[in-house]
């Protein structure tokens, strides 16, 4: 059974710092991995999607990497801003059954 773990559960950093959020999964038979952002009481906004054949994806200050063999993905945020404060979720889509499994998220707070 696929399990997705995100560490740390919460993170507080000063503005301008570069940071890395971690996501690990137990079954490497995935179709893709997606990173989302969730603001309090709101829905999820897709940030980046990495196909299983890809190693990384970039969008602006965000870079996501995928190492399928070790069951890990990282989300790198450069030059963090207070507006980046949110919960970041990773989700893997399994090849068997096409079910998406989510991690519990990392709650990020960027201090001005």
Partner 1 sequence: DADVTQTPRNRITKTGKRIMLECSQTKGHDRMYWYRQDPGLGLRLIYYSFDVKDINKGEISDGYSVSRQAQAKFSLSLESAIPNQTALYFCATGRGSGRDEQFFGPGTRLTVL
User: What contacts 43, CB < 8 A, 6 or more positions away?
Assistant: none
2 touches partner 1 (CB under 8 A)? no
- For residue 11, state whether it binds partner 1 (rule: CB under 8 A): no
Place of tokens 């499994």: 101
Q: Is 36 in the site for partner 1 (CB under 8 A)?
A: yes
Determine if 44 is a binding residue for partner 1 (CB under 8 A): yes
Measured between alpha carbons, how far is 53 from 12 in angstroms, rounded to an integer?
33
Does 46 bind partner 1 (CB under 8 A)? Our answer is yes
Nearest distance, CB of residue 72 and partner 1, angstroms: 17
- Pick between residue 43 and residue 60 the one whose CB is nearest to partner 1: 43
Q: Where are the beta strands (DSSP E) in the chain?
A: 4-7, 10-14, 19-25, 30-38, 44-51, 56-59, 62-67, 72-77, 86-94, 100-102, 106-111
Which residues form the interface with partner 1 (CB under 8 A)? 4, 31-32, 34, 36, 41-46, 49, 51, 89, 91, 93, 98-105
């Amino acid at each position: 059974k696929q399990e997705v773990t995100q560490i740390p559960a919460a993170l507080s950093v000063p503005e301008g710092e570069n940071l890395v959020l971690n996501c690990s999964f137990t079954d490497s038979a995935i179709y893709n991995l997606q990173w989302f952002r969730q603001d309090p009481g709101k829905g999820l906004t897709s940030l980046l999607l990495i196909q299983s054949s890809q190693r990384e994806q970039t969008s602006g200050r965000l870079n996501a990497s995928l190492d399928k063999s070790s069951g890990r993905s990282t989300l790198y945020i450069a030059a963090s801003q207070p507006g980046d404060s949110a919960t970041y979720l990773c989700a893997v889509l399994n090849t068997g059954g096409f079910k998406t499994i989510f991690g519990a998220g990392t709650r990020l707070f960027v201090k001005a």
